[in-house]
Amino acid sequence: MLEFSVFTFGMLASFILSGLGRNKKAQRANPPMLHYMGLVMMGFSTTLGVLLLGWAAAMMVGVA
């Protein structure tokens, strides 16, 4: 199940980043849905990174 989630996340991130890059190169405005999905992916990645960093720190201290 984890592999499927990672694969799906990677495909979505690749699609969003390629769309944003293509629009920037063509000097076009991004569609609102693409912009919002980019924000959601950024928020999800940041939240996951902070949670994993906190979990690693808790393991180092011996709490978890």
Q: How far is CA 32 from CA 4, 7, 9, 36, in A?
A: 27, 24, 20, 6
Q: What is the pLDDT of residue 28?
A: 95
* pLDDT for the residue numbered 63: 87
58 touches 64 (CB < 8 A): yes
- Residue 44's closest CA among 16, 3, 22? 16
- Give pLDDT, residue 57: 95
Contact 34, 20 (CB under 8 A): yes
Amino acid (one-letter) located at 12: L
**More confidently predicted of 63 and 45:** 45
How many domains does the structure of the chain reveal?
1
Residue 37's domain spans which residues? 2-61
| pLDDT per residue as tens digits for the range 10-59 | 999 999 999 999 999 999 999 999 999 999 999 999 999 999 999 999 99
pTM of the predicted model as reported, rounded to 2 decimal places: 0.77
